[in-house]
Structure 1
Amino acid sequence: MQEHIQLERHRSRYRMVFLILLALVLLVPMIAMGFTSEVNWGAEDFGAAAALLGTGWLSTELGSRLVRSGRGRLLISAAVALAVLGLWAHLAVGIWPMDGG
């Protein structure tokens, strides 16, 4: 029982750290928009970024509950991070052709 309580405290801290990092990541383009016209995000861009990061976090959280080994958790986290970064890059600049040709 005590181990379960400690695990929940650890997860609670992990969630708080994630929320802080999410806010900081979303603040970067907001601050950049004040300095340059090359960054021009609208509400939909911030919403998409928040949804993408939130889905990545949820995937990592669920994966870490299914896999008990540290190495497995690291691999799941790395795979999710690569998927999130790849999708973010595609949404930003279109790195994969989507016109069917």
Structure 2
Amino acid sequence: MMTQKQKTTFIYAAPAVLLCIPLIGNVVSKEFDWSASDFGIAAVLLFGTAFLIDLIQRIVKNKTYKILISAAIVLLLILTWVELAVGLFGTPFAGN
């Protein structure tokens, strides 16, 4: 069983590892072109999601509710990311 400290470390380490992927892509490939603002937006989205999931894990006691609320938060992250990337819903924040 993981301790609360280990869970918190994992929750906040996952976004950092995910942000390393585009960073490495920027260094080794010319086709991968993220600006500083792209990294900033991604960091806010990923660490904001991590914060909300950590908060849910600490506050909600029922395991089923923890999973459902966390899944809803991750789904919201994915939908927001897709909208910013390709404009799935056609909002003013839509990407290319």
TM-score category of the 2 structures, normalised to the smaller one: 0.7 to 0.9
Instruction: Give how far 1:29 is off.
Output: 0.9
Q: TM-score, normalised by structure 2?
A: 0.80
Q: Is 1:87 the counterpart of 2:93 in the alignment? A: no
Structure 2: 5+ residue runs without aligned partners?
none
Which aligned segments of 4 or more residues in structure 1 are displaced greater than 6 angstroms? none
Contact 2:15 2:46 in 1 (8 A): yes
Superposed CA offset, 1:57-99 (max 9, x none): 1222222333211100000110001001111111111111125
| Distance of 2:54 and 2:12 partners within structure 1 | 13
* Sequence identity percentage: 31
Aligned alpha-carbon RMSD (Å): 1.8
Instruction: State the partner residue of 1:17.
Output: 10
- Aligned counterpart in structure 1 of residue 32 of structure 2, from 18, 39, 42: 39
Instruction: Give how far 1:55 is off.
Output: 1.3
Pairs aligned (count): 91
Structure 1: 5+ residue runs without aligned partners?
1-8
| Distance of 2:53 and 2:13 partners within structure 1 | 17
Q: TM-score, normalised by structure 1?
A: 0.77
Q: SS in structure 1 opposite 2:3?
A: helix
| Distance of 1:66 and 1:41 partners within structure 2 | 36
Instruction: State the partner residue of 1:69.
Output: 62
Structure 1 residues 43 and 37, CA gap change in structure 2 (3 angstroms):
same
Structure 1 residues 85 and 41, CA gap change in structure 2 (3 angstroms):
same
Instruction: State the partner residue of 1:27.
Output: 20
